[in-house]
């Protein structure tokens, strides 16, 4: 026996009728977006619910918001939350069931509750702030001191952002003629890459910390809705622990991001950041100029006092000079008289000492000279007795060789010429052997 089978379309149509009849109402549902994209004015979402303990999806469904509804609810959602819907966001949707025979089942979005998303965003933000305070880093930036002469500015921004151009132009054309050195570290300022892109830029600046006075993070000129990238724990920790003051001007006024809360200074716009730096340096310039004026005035007053003092001294110099001259002349006369007297005393004593020495020295010298004369006479007598002429006169002779007396025949050799000296004359001889 054969049973007639349904076609797939017939089966799906049957399911559609059942769902339409049993799920005819709309339902509010809380879910997390694992995907959200727009195409041709429609918004396509993937909803998930995660296990609270394991963070593993335990439910998953497709949802669609058609163009006519999306065009109405999207602007309101952005206005209230300051963000567009994106993956990872928790939402509360008003949906009704739809099963299409050709495309299958999906939930059709009729409305979105932005207050729920705001509450979830606020809870996440408060949790990040709580953790930053627990780590003791929440107020670290505000404990830093911005240099009074902050002119070297590291900027983190999109290279093509209008806000970056406004920032540079305002610094360049400031009314005080102050000079700033600005260096851009490009970063993605919207979308999923915001966090890591800014952290990478901070790392590059940190490697050259000594080259800069502060860091400015600006975003103006882009969409004001996508701010979730500035509300992350990792980025907040990097900013809070950064060694240089960080000024944020990411172009939104409705609420502060976590990045704003942990930065050294938060301003509303890039131009406000430029104005802050200009005013800071202008205040320093004013202090320097005031100090310069004070120094000039103090020097002028001191010069006037010294001039009057010199003039006063000048009027008393002749009288003072006369008094001093008289005193010095009297002092010199006294010294001169003392010197003469001292010299006379020394000369008198020297004469006395010399006379005493002469009285004792002359008899001693006379005696000494007499003794030495007797000694000389005795030496003369001895010298006469040793005169060779006395020996020659007794018949002796002296033999000389090369002018020296020969005392030993062994001193001579054959052929030597010798001289024999007598009392009367001398003769030369040649040694034979």
Decide which of 65 and 431 is more confident.
Answer: 65
Render pLDDT for 300-347 as a digit per residue (tens, 0 to 9).
899 988 888 888 887 877 777 777 788 888 888 888 889 888 988 888
| pLDDT at residue 225, as a whole number | 47
CA distances from 142 to 126, 214, 247 (A): 19, 13, 11
Chain segment 13-40, per-residue pLDDT in tens: 888 888 888 888 889 999 989 899 999 9
Q: Where in the chain is the domain with CATH 3.40.50.10550?
A: 135-282
Asked if residues 406 and 400 have their Cβ atoms less than 8 Å apart, the reply is: yes
Rank 63-67, 78-82, 220-224, 401-405 by mean pLDDT and report only the highest: 63-67
Tokens for 346, please give them: 């020394």
> Which residues have a Cβ under 8 Å from the Cβ of 58 and sit 6 or more positions away?
49, 50, 51
Instruction: Report pLDDT for 207.
Output: 95
Please give the Cα distance from 358 to 111 (Å, whole number).
Answer: 143
User: Is the distance from CB of 246 to CB of 214 less than 8 angstroms?
Assistant: yes
Q: How many residues does the chain have?
A: 433
Secondary structure (3-state) at 209: helix
Q: What is the pLDDT of residues 192-213, one digit of tens each?
A: 788 999 999 999 999 999 999 9
Check whether 265 has a pLDDT greater than 50: yes
Per-residue b or e along 311-335, where b marks 16 or more CB atoms closer than 10 Å to that residue's CB:
eeeeeeeeeeeeeeeeeeeeeeeee
pLDDT attached to residue 433: 66
Q: Where are the beta strands (DSSP E) in 158-243?
A: 181-186, 214-218
Residue 48 backbone phi and psi in degrees, to 5 = -140, 155
Helix (H) or strand (E) holding 42: strand 42-50
**pLDDT at 255 > cutoff 90:** no
Q: How confident is the model at residue 94 (pLDDT cuts 50, 70, 90)?
A: very high
Fold of 135-282: Rossmann fold (3.40.50)
pTM over 0.95: no
Would you place residue 367 in the very low, low, confident or very high pLDDT band (cuts 50, 70, 90)?
Answer: confident
Q: Where in the chain do CATH 2.40.50.140 domains reside?
A: 6-120
Third-level CATH fold of 6-120: OB fold (Dihydrolipoamide Acetyltransferase, E2P) (2.40.50)
């Amino acid at each position: 026996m054969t049973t007639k089978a349904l076609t797939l379309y017939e089966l799906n149509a049957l399911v559609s009728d059942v769902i339409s009849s049993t799920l005819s109402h709309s339902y509010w549902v809380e879910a997390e977006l694992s995907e959200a994209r727009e195409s041709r004015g429609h918004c396509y979402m993937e909803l998930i619910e995660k296990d609270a303990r394991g963070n593993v999806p335990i439910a998953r469904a497709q949802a669609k918001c058609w163009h006519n509804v999306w065009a109405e609810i999207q602007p309101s959602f952005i206005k209230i939350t300051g963000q567009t819907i994106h993956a990872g966001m928790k939402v509360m949707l008003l949906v009704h069931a739809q099963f299409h025979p050709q495309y299958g089942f999906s939930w059709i979005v009729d409305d979105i509750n932005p207050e729920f998303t705001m509450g979830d965003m606020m809870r996440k933000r408060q949790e990040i702030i709580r953790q930053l305070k627990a780590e003791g880093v929440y107020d670290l930036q505000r404990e830093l001191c911005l240099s009074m002469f902050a002119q070297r500015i590291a900027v983190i921004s999109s290279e093509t952002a209008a806000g970056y151009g406004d920032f540079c132009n305002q610094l360049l054309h400031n009314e005080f003629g102050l000079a700033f050195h600005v260096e851009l570290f490009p970063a993605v300022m919207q979308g999923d890459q915001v966090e890591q892109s800014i952290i990478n830029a901070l790392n590059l600046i940190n490697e050259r910390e000594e080259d800069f006075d502060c860091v400015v993070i600006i975003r103006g000129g882009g969409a004001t809705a996508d701010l979730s990238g500035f509300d992350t724990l990792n980025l907040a920790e990097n900013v809070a622990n950064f060694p240089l003051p960080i000024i944020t001007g990411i172009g939104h006024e409705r609420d502060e991001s976590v990045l704003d809360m942990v930065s050294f200074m938060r301003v509303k716009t890039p131009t406000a950041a430029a104005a802050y730096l200009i005013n800071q340096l202008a205040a320093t310039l004013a202090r320097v100029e005031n100090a310069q004026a004070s120094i000039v005035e103090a020097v002028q007053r001191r010069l006037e006092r010294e001039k009057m003092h010199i003039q006063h001294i000048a009027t008393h110099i002749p009288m003072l000079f006369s008094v001093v001259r008289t005193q010095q002349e009297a002092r010199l006369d006294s010294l001169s008289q003392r010197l003469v007297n001292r010299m006379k005393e020394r000369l008198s004593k020297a004469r006395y000492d010399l006379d005493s020495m002469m009285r004792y020295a002359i008899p001693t010298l006379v005696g000494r000279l007499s003794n030495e004369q007797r000694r000389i006479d005795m030496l003369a007598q001895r010298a006469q007795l040793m005169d060779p002429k006395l020996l020659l006169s007794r018949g002796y002779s002296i033999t000389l060789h090369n002018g020296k007396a020969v005392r030993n025949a062994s001193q001579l050799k054959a052929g030597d010429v010798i001289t024999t000296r007598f009392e009367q004359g001398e003769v030369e001889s040649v040694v034979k052997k």
